[in-house]
Amino acid sequence: MGNKTIGSTPYSLALHPSIPGDKHSEKKVYGSIQQRETIGLKTLAQHIREHGSSFSVGTLQGVLSDMIECTRELLKQGYSVDFEGLMRLYVTGKSQGVDSAEDFNPAVHFTRINLRGDVAEDVQTYLNSEVEFEYVMTREEQRLAKKAAKEALVVPGGDGGDDDSGDDDGDDDGETE
């Protein structure tokens, strides 16, 4: 594997009631982990490749795709699947009660099937002790900043004329010839 920098976990801050559900309770500042984006199989395969894998992105993507398909199949068959060093996945169910075993019909009485996961202890330890954090704007702050930037682009009475950057080719790339 290569020596890539791991990076930091983005978070923002928000003011919330100290007692959940009680909007009149004392307000406190809470941290909220922000998700950057969802990474798909191709991007994950590219990331693995960048870490020094000798397999092609296509091969890695195929292996990961097969892993997902087989994991789904095994979970449906009642197996738990242990991604050693990451998590163990398993299926649970919620059912309605009936008066006798003869009355129980799984197709009718199971009302919900859930996928559950137990995070590996070493991953949990890593997340709780070695993660570095980076403050980022909340989603609302990002939305307002984008709105303000769009509004700044529309200057009332502006003619979109010369930007005084020194180049005269009209492309506004800031470079001079």
In-domain check, residue 142: yes
Q: Can you say how many angstroms the Cα of residue 164 is from the centroid of all Cα atoms in its chain? A: 42
Q: Which amino acid would we find at residue 15?
A: L
Range of the domain at 26: 1-34+136-153
Q: Could you give the 3-state DSSP secondary structure of residue 135?
A: strand
Tell me, what's the pLDDT at 3? 37
In-domain check, residue 1: yes
In-domain check, residue 27: yes
Rounded to a whole number of angstroms, the CA Rg of the chain reads 26
In-domain check, residue 20: yes
Quickly tell me which residue has 């406190």 as its tokens: 28
In-domain check, residue 148: yes
Q: Could you give the 3-state DSSP secondary structure of residue 58?
A: helix
In-domain check, residue 14: yes
Number of CB atoms found within 10 A of residue 114's CB: 9
DSSP 104: -
Q: Report the number of distinct structural domains present in the chain.
A: 1
Per-10-residue mean pLDDT of the chain, 177 residues long, equals 58 88 91 84 93 95 95 93 92 92 91 91 81 84 87 66 44 40
Q: In Å, how far are 139, 166, 168 from 123, measured between CA atoms?
A: 27, 54, 56
d(CA 131, CA 154): 41
In-domain check, residue 25: yes
- The whole-model pTM stands at 0.60
d(CA 136, CA 142): 9
Query: 78 and 91 in contact (C-beta within 8 Å)?
Result: yes
